[in-house]
Amino acid sequence: MCNEALEWLTSHAADVLAGLNQFLAIPSVSTRTEHRHDVARCAEWLGSELRRIGLTAECHPTAGHPVVLAEWRGAPSGAATVLIYGHYDVQPPEPLELWRSPPFVGTMRDGRLYARGAADDKGQLWIHLKALEACLATTGRLPVNVVLLLEGEEEIGSTSLPDFLAAHRERLTCDYIVISDTMMFAPGVPNILGSMRGLAYFELTARSAATDLHSGQYGGVVPNAATALARALSTMLDGEGRVAIAGFYDDVREPAESRRRELARLRFDERVFASEVGLESLTGEADYGALERMWLRPTCDVNGIEGGYTGEGVKTVIPSSARAKVSFRLVPDQTPAGVERLLRAHLARLPIPGVRLELRLLHGALSWSAERGTGAVGAARRALAAEFEHEPVAGGTGGTIPIVPELARHVGGEILLVGFGLPGENAHAPNEWIAVENLRRGMRAMVGLYQELAALRGRIGSS
Amino acid sequence: MCNEALEWLTSHAADVLAGLNQFLAIPSVSTRTEHRHDVARCAEWLGSELRRIGLTAECHPTAGHPVVLAEWRGAPSGAATVLIYGHYDVQPPEPLELWRSPPFVGTMRDGRLYARGAADDKGQLWIHLKALEACLATTGRLPVNVVLLLEGEEEIGSTSLPDFLAAHRERLTCDYIVISDTMMFAPGVPNILGSMRGLAYFELTARSAATDLHSGQYGGVVPNAATALARALSTMLDGEGRVAIAGFYDDVREPAESRRRELARLRFDERVFASEVGLESLTGEADYGALERMWLRPTCDVNGIEGGYTGEGVKTVIPSSARAKVSFRLVPDQTPAGVERLLRAHLARLPIPGVRLELRLLHGALSWSAERGTGAVGAARRALAAEFEHEPVAGGTGGTIPIVPELARHVGGEILLVGFGLPGENAHAPNEWIAVENLRRGMRAMVGLYQELAALRGRIGSS
């Protein structure tokens, strides 16, 4: 069964890319109201694809964007059930002027496929669809039962999914959850994720006078909202990468020594990593290695800021309001609510006369840590090692897939995070890409993984 | 002569406003390339108006926007020459959503005429045109020779005017320069300006990585340009209204005690002033009164800031660049070049690893102080007191008319800054207005001023 599927993938390589390009062409930007119709169209298109390759598939409307739920339940009695989670929504493409090719046209350059969503997450979701199709097209069956749970709100916090999980708990019950929305450790080095940071994302608004005022006539007596916002933001970090909010580190669990040693063994090349993003060197907390800072330590970043006059030339105003998006990556045992409480207290203590600071939590998600050394992890190790000819590492991610802790809570199943992006892939940035080689190997490894997970059930039964 | 002109103004009050509304309807936004044609059209329109009322008028092209130069030289031999300076360009109207009526439609509400440029400076320039027309239409003559110098680049730093002044020095030579581009001290209280602050306006850009990066994947190791910019800006002020740049106050001349006493006598009501702009109280340096802080002390204001994602919802990026407009109001003996030097040194000392800060001076202007107690000031006092039935005060302005020190340098003449705006007029902000009563009294007072200045020459001759 496996060989036929692998041969199918080889002979259909061009079709696989053509289909992905159709998927990438739909601008399913979930955060933008004007793309609402595109997001819905993308869900419908996915549903059709899934039905074409032999699954049942439904688009479930939610208060936000649709959830696509697809199933294939023809595996032999007693076979394991694998839930594959992915998301078909993407980040906004802006700033457009920095793209070398249009964000919604899949474009091949130097072995990479460029487009918004190429890595995050359409390309990686496509790996599973095509691995499933390869098996079904050649043998008419899969070695495991499969449920696909594909959402359109991952980039905006998976708002509707928890309710959906609760409402469809029985249909979603599974033995394993496979998610490909992360990165390989390096070119050629597969990665089965060991941990993931959480997120607390805020909007902070400063307000002063009733209206913007002339900075000459009023300068010296009227508080400036933009200056105040800059001041407030600058108090949140100490300049050396540590968050300067009182109590922030109280809930931060120190990384286990075993995990620190594991990461140290990865021999991460900071200089190469820095040069890939145009930097001379990396920055951050001096007491932690770069991988620890990215995966195991909390952060604070200003994601956006605006206020006053930002057009061409000169305008002499004192802005009456200014606004920032500021977010924290969280680690065990931090919670978004806990960070919000500390931040509110911090802002309330700032001596900024005449300016009101308003804080709004836009999105929160918990961090996650994998159970270590389970049978499922072993199955994934074997499948990935066979295809990539390299033993997978147990990396982390500094990013957040908010639904991971929710899935663990609602539908059970061991979670496997096996990603096929690469560092420098420009997820959430202009010129996002995925290596075509990793698309190819990823599909083959997933065909192998379904077999390995099927075999695992046999092993468990016989042990 | 004077009475006939005043009667003409009374009987033509509706025409005067109708003409001003035509002037206000031309969106002569000098800072925006897309309004270049509107600025040129505004100059042509002004030239026609000036010729219609009996002056010669030419629109002189410059590297930027045209200068309108108009003359009437029919006064008796030995009569004084008065140069009237004004500007027909306006600030951008944004943010548009905060205007209660369209910015380029003169709209009357509660005795105020609302429009962009109503106060700054079209309305005030109109006062002079109509005072001249009143005299010429009724008697065919003026008691003084008059030159009008009307520019279209005041809001963008009067870039072309110094060259124009140098090239036309002889035609511009005059005894008095009258400028109405400032405010009365309070309703009913006229103001002959004693001082004006200068300006140094910068753009500050922070740059880090080659592109925006995912704040999850890279957070903790990559410098954030928006955070760095906020930090840099927050170091420029000490939180109590004092500029925190080393050496900044070395060139700042302390206000003369006599001038401080003069301002103290104005019995400025801080609470009323604050409430007019929607504030509970004023802020700033504790050691100086509010008028001193606005008129005699230097300031630093962030005029605009932008970076990263500022759209709807959530986007988790580390901005690779962020940009602010930041400006300083200057007092004697500061210079824009001096402030630029100090600011560059300040930024170079900031410990912001991995971020490049780029500074660009967009516009600079010196401060100005009036000669005190001259004959021209006496003439203006008499003309204003007669019409407003209140002795004028010698206020200051925190704003900057960059050309004032240039005029003093190039064409000589005693400078009189007599303004008819009012505090709260929203110059440079949405819902700019001028009180119709002050338009009316202003025109009448200017008819009187031309007479007083003519008489002065006689007095000087006879003393």
The answer to whether the bond into B121 is cis (omega within 30° of 0) is yes
Three-class secondary structure of residue B445 per DSSP: helix
Closest-CA residue of chain A to B181:
A217
Interface confidence (ipTM) of the complex: 0.82
Decide if pLDDT at A462 tops 50. no
Closest-CA residue of chain A to B317:
A303
Task: Inspect the interface and report whether the beta carbons of B305 and A304 lie closer than 8 Å.
Answer: no
CB–CB contacts below 8 A, A to B: 363
Q: Which pLDDT band, with edges at 50, 70 and 90, does B463 fall under?
A: very low
Q: Which of A201, A306, A311 sits opposite B310 (nearest CB)?
A: A306
Q: Which pLDDT band, with edges at 50, 70 and 90, does A236 fall under?
A: very high
Q: Which of A239, A306, A427 sits opposite B306 (nearest CB)?
A: A306
Contacts of residue B273 in chain A, CB cutoff 8 Å? Answer: 221
User: What pLDDT is recorded for position B392?
Assistant: 95
- CA distances to A293, A332, A367 from A196, rounded to whole Å, are 12, 10, 6
Q: What mean pLDDT is reported for chain B?
A: 94
Closest-CA residue of chain A to B99:
A211
- CATH class of the domain at B198-252+298-364: alpha beta
Cα distance between residue B444 and residue B387, in whole Å? 7
Can you tell me the mean pLDDT for B170-181? 95
Task: Inspect the interface and report whether the beta carbons of B211 and A278 lie closer than 8 Å.
Answer: yes
Fold of A2-195+367-462: Aminopeptidase (3.40.630)
Dihedral angle at the C-alpha atoms of B444, B450, B452, B454, nearest 10 degrees? Answer: -160
Provide the total of helices (H) and of strands (E) in chain B, helices listed first.
14, 18
Q: Which pLDDT band, with edges at 50, 70 and 90, does B208 fall under?
A: very high
Tell whether domain A200-250+298-362 is in CATH 3.30.70.360.
Answer: yes
Cα distance between residue A210 and residue B51, in whole Å? 42
Contacts 24+ apart (CB under 8 A), B387-390: B387/B441, B387/B444, B387/B445, B387/B448, B388/B188, B388/B189, B388/B190, B388/B441, B388/B445, B389/B188, B390/B188, B390/B189, B390/B190
From A71, A179, A82, select the one nearest A124 (Cα to Cα): A179
Domain ranges of chain B: 2-195+367-462, 198-252+298-364
Cα distance between residue A6 and residue A130, in whole Å? 11
Q: Which pLDDT band, with edges at 50, 70 and 90, does B459 fall under?
A: low
User: What pLDDT is recorded for position A170?
Assistant: 93
**Cβ atoms of A453 and A80 closer than 8 Å:** yes
Closest-CA residue of chain A to B280:
A354
Task: Inspect the interface and report whether the beta carbons of A310 and B313 lie closer than 8 Å.
Answer: no
- Which residues face A90 on adjacent strands? A29
Q: A132-154: buried (b, 16+ CB within 10 Å) or exposed (e) per residue? A: bbbbbbbeeebbbbbbbbbbbbb
Task: Inspect the interface and report whether the beta carbons of B303 and A316 lie closer than 8 Å.
Answer: yes
The pair of structure tokens assigned to A364 is: 């929160």
- At B54-83, the pLDDT tens digits run 999 999 999 999 999 999 999 999 999 999
Pick the residue of A231, A288, A302 with the most B CBs within 10 A to test the interface with B by mutation.
A302
Task: Inspect the interface and report whether the beta carbons of A283 and B354 lie closer than 8 Å.
Answer: yes
- At B385-422, the pLDDT tens digits run 999 999 999 998 898 888 888 898 888 889 999 999 99
Phi-psi region of A220 (alpha: psi -120 to 50; beta: other; left: phi over 0): left
From A437, A383, A377, select the one nearest A143 (Cα to Cα): A383
pTM: 0.82
Phi-psi region of A424 (alpha: psi -120 to 50; beta: other; left: phi over 0): left
**Site of tokens 């004004």:** B86
Tell me whether domains A2-195+367-462 and A200-250+298-362 share a fold. no
What's the alpha-carbon Rg for chain B, to the nearest Å? Answer: 24
From B319, B323, B321, select the one nearest B305 (Cα to Cα): B323
